[in-house]
Structures are given as structure tokens and as C-alpha cells.
Amino acid sequence: MSRKIYCMFSVLLAAMLCTNGAMAQSQPIGIFDAQNDVGPVKNKGDVKYEPKSQQYTVSGSGTNIWANTDEFHYVWKKMTGDFILRTNAEFVGKGTELHRKWGFMVRKSLDGNSAHVNAVVHGDGLTSLQYRKTMGAVTEEQKSPLTFAGVIQLERKGNTYTMSVAHKGDVFGPEEKVYLDLGDDVYVGIFVCSHNADVTEQAVFSNVRIVTPAPADLVPYKKYLGSAIELLDMATQNSRVVYQSPKSLQAPNWIKNGKSLIYNSDGTLYNFNLSTNTPTAINTNPAKNNNNDHVISFDGKMLTISSGDGGPSIGYTVPVGGGDAKVVTTRGVGASYMHGWSPDGKFLVFCGERGGEYDVYRIPSGGGPEERLTTTKGLDDGPEYTPDGKYIYFNSVRSGLMQVWRMDADGSNQTQITNDDYNNWFPHVSPDGKWIVYITFLKNEVAPGDHPFYKHVYIRVMPAAGGPSKVVAYLYGGQGTINTPSWSPDSKHIAFVSNSNLLFPVFPIAKN
């Protein structure tokens, strides 16, 4: 190669590096493909991934993400089609510049002047949807009325991008939307920009999720998305994925010793060992078509399960380790969906369909006559005893939207507990009796009497003694997320299921 050609090649390579930033690191980083600086940043950025907590600490420099070009550090994955991006994050330290930035971004390319859209939180609290419509164009912005967001979500449907933001613990506020054609093949990722070429800033990202949602032609209960079992730390609201499967996993609940979970998949119950991340099928013969209504007794020795083998669902009991299942509800009178044991083990409560009405019933755990506890028109579901046996919590549509209710153990004094503009399902009482956790559906997505798969949902918690609710998880899920009691024995964690068609190889993959 002549010196002239070599010099021309060197100049060209340098120009490429200046345009695209530092060369991308190609090894996977958690759920992402790679990382690199975008634009000619002065101080090289970096990311540290903590597998145990599944958190990312991103360090980034760069003058700005604005005007005609950008400089920042980017941790990204290539994506096509529709997706939902979501994360909690916060800056590390007080910082230098008011307009330092963290967020989730979608880019057409890694060029500094690429078309892009991002949901971003600034150091001074400004939270906005920012976008550059074409390469080299001036960046535009839609400001959220909410400042200092701790949770951001950026969703793509076709060429429409929607930003939703919230303070940690609150539901999402007003949306910001933009129509933007970035092409189908894009980069998606988290980023940090210091807004000062000489300074490097850091942000910690938790609950980072890239979700591929259900396609429009998905037939409910015929086709399914993949599932992830997540464990949520109630103190920090940080959740980590412990298991994934391309199949539908539903309704994980903790066994008494805290070492494993029981969940349902394809009609079979599995014991999932938390130390080895492996599932083992539980023998429930002759019940072979189990649904996601299964509950462990307070002493940890027995299961009550629901199975629709050749007809409407009926209730059984079976040893928690497996064995011959015993029928406890009456055949031929309507479907029965088991939801709770009394603390002394003498009674079971369930949602029963009798004559077209769904109500809460109580029955001796050894079988016997059933007793109807609710009689109002409309659906009453999800009954569960408190640990002291005094009350039964349930959800009811009787007041218009689905809400959480409570009654005395004999069915008297039925009292509405939640009263908001959402549909609230499946209240679960913590083992220490202090908290109620439940799942919330959006009324513009779901009818009050339905709890389908694959929706935007919240998991919320409220004091059992009364008080405001707060969001502890933002997710894509619904049916099967927390249908059954899902608290750990020490009341410090819950287990739940989220859904996506995108599974990440960095997590264990189910083989069942």
C-alpha cells in the first residue's frame, strides 16, 4: 500500500470513528448487545452491569443531546418491530450541570447526527420526549408536566412513539406522543450525557426491560407469549428475572421454607428451585389440566388446586410435594376456582360459578357442603384469608369498576377497600398481616370483569390497616401475573410473571 493511499485510509477511518463514536464493544451486557460513545466525546464512557441485581451503572460524558448532533454514552440493542422500553433510574451524586441527562433512546444509527427519539430526565428535573426527525435536523421537544421522573417508558407501535413517566411509586401521568419514521431496524438503549465535555456523570438503571408485546392477531388462550418469573424486593422495588420460558408460565407462589416457587404451565404444576433455577413437575394425578388458581396451606403441607379435566374447573387438594389429588368441590354444579385456605386448614374459599353468577364460596377442606358468602350481582373473585383468620379479602365488580373488598370470615360486613379509577384484582395479604398487594389493570384497556393476558399493568401495595396505595412494579402482563398468593414467607419479596416475545439468553431458559 502506498503512503498516500495509507494516509487516505487513515483519514477515512478517523472520520468514521469521529462520526460513530468509539468502536462498540461487541460482547453482551446484560440484555444489551454492546456499548459505545456516540459523537466525539472527550472522556470515554462505560457501563458496569451487576448480574445479581440486574442493574446498570452508566458513565457518560458529552456536550449535549440536542440541536443537530449528539455526544453521550449509549448501551444498546438492535431491534425490529414494536416494543416497550422501561426503566427506573437516578443520577449518582449532585452533578455539575443542570442539563445532564439519563434516559431510554431509539436511534436510526450510531452517527452523532442520527434521527432518534428519547425519553429523558435532566438534572434539573425536566422530563421530556425529544426527537430528531431526520439526520442532521434540529432536535425538537415535548415537555412532560411531570418533573424529576424516576420511571420512564417509551413504547413503539408502528411509527408512533409514546412516552409515559412517573415518580417512583406513582401511576404513569399524561402521555407524550410523536409520529416518527426511523425505519423498522433501530438501536434501542439506555444513555447518559454529562452536558459538559470535561465532566463524566453516572446514573444507575434498575428494572430495565425491553418487551416485545403481543401482535394484533394473537388469539387469547390459543397462542401465548414467553414468560419471565421475577422476584421483587419490596423495600427497594428492584425486580430481577430469575427464570424465562418461551411458554406461558403463570401464578408463582412461595413454599413455606422460601426455597422454591410453585407455578403453572401447560396444565402442569411445577416446583421451581430458587437455588438451582430448575423446575420439577408435581404429580397431581388425576388432575392433569390445572389452571393458575392454586394455593398453599398456611402450614405449607397441602395445595388446593383447580383443574378443568374435560369440563368446568373443579377444586382438589393434594400434598404440596405431589401425590393423589382429592376432589373437594361438587362436580356438575359449575366451575370452581380455588383461592385460599383458612389459617387453621379447616376451610377453603373459592370463586364459584353457579347459575351464571360468580360468587365467593367456603367449603370444608376435606369436602362437604359449600356455603355462599357473597350474593351481589356481578363477579366476586379472588378470596383470600388474612393470617389471623378474621377476614377474607376479595375483588368485586359490584361498584362499577373491579375493586378490592374485605369481609368478615363468615361473609358479613362486606366493605370496599380500594376506590379509584382502575380495575384492581387479586388482593394478597402478606404473611405478617401488614400489607395487601394486588394487580391493577387500566380501564381503557380492560373491561371491569376481565383480567386478560398481555396488558399494561401495575402491581400495587397498600397497608392492611388502610392507607394510600403505591406502585411497586410497572410491567406488561395480566392473567397469570399474581393470580395466587405470591409473598415470600418473610414478607420481604413477591414473585410475579411478566410477558414478552423477546427472551434474553443471559437468563436461565425453561426447558419444560
What's the gap between Cα 113 and its chain centre?
A: 33
What phi-psi label fits residue 195: left (phi over 0), alpha (psi between -120 and 50 degrees) or beta?
Answer: left
| Confidence (pLDDT) at 507 | 52
* Domain ranges for the chain: 3-211, 227-500
Q: What share of the chain is helix, strand, coil (3-state, %, to 5)?
A: 5, 45, 50
Query: Model pTM?
Result: 0.93
Within this chain, domains 3-211 and 227-500 share the same CATH topology: no
The predicted-structure confidence for 326-343, as pLDDT tens digits, reads as follows 999 998 899 999 999 999
Q: How far apart are CA 71 and CA 59, in angstroms?
A: 13
- Work out the widest C-alpha separation in the chain, in whole angstroms: 95
Which residue bears the cell 368441590?
A: 329
The predicted-structure confidence for 262-273, as pLDDT tens digits, reads as follows 999 999 999 999
DSSP 397-464: -TTSS-EEEEEETTS-S-EE---SSSEEEEEEE-TTSSEEEEEEE-TTTS-TT---SSEEEEEEEEET
248 CB contacts (<8 Å, ≥6 apart)?
224, 225, 227, 265, 266, 453, 480
**Which residues pair with residue 25 across a beta bridge?**
35
Inform me whether the pLDDT recorded for 5 exceeds 50: no
Q: Are 174 and 149 in contact (CB under 8 A)?
A: no
Q: What is the CATH number of domain 227-500?
A: 2.120.10.30
The predicted-structure confidence for 454-475, as pLDDT tens digits, reads as follows 999 999 999 998 899 999 999 9
The predicted-structure confidence for 31-70, as pLDDT tens digits, reads as follows 999 999 999 999 999 999 999 999 999 999 999 999 999 9
Q: Cα(first)–Cα(last) distance of the chain, in Å? A: 58
User: How many other C-beta atoms are found inside a 10 Å radius of the C-beta of residue 23?
Assistant: 11
162: amino acid identity, one letter: T
Q: Between 2.60.120.200, 3.40.50.970, 3.30.470.10, 2.60.40.10, what CATH number should domain 3-211 receive?
A: 2.60.120.200
User: Residue 16 — φ and ψ, nearest 5°?
Assistant: -65, -40
Of 318, 323, 297, 314, whose CA–CA distance to 485 is shortest? 297
The predicted-structure confidence for 367-391, as pLDDT tens digits, reads as follows 999 999 999 999 999 999 999 999 9
Residues in the chain: 512
Q: How far apart are CA 174 and CA 145, in angstroms?
A: 8
Mean pLDDT score of the chain: 93
pLDDT interval class at 508 (50, 70, 90):
low
Q: How far apart are CA 124 and CA 97, in angstroms?
A: 8
Whether the link from the prior residue into 286 is cis, omega within 30° of 0, is yes
| Confidence (pLDDT) at 510 | 52
Q: Are 309 and 316 in contact (CB under 8 A)?
A: no
Inform me whether the pLDDT recorded for 11 exceeds 80: no
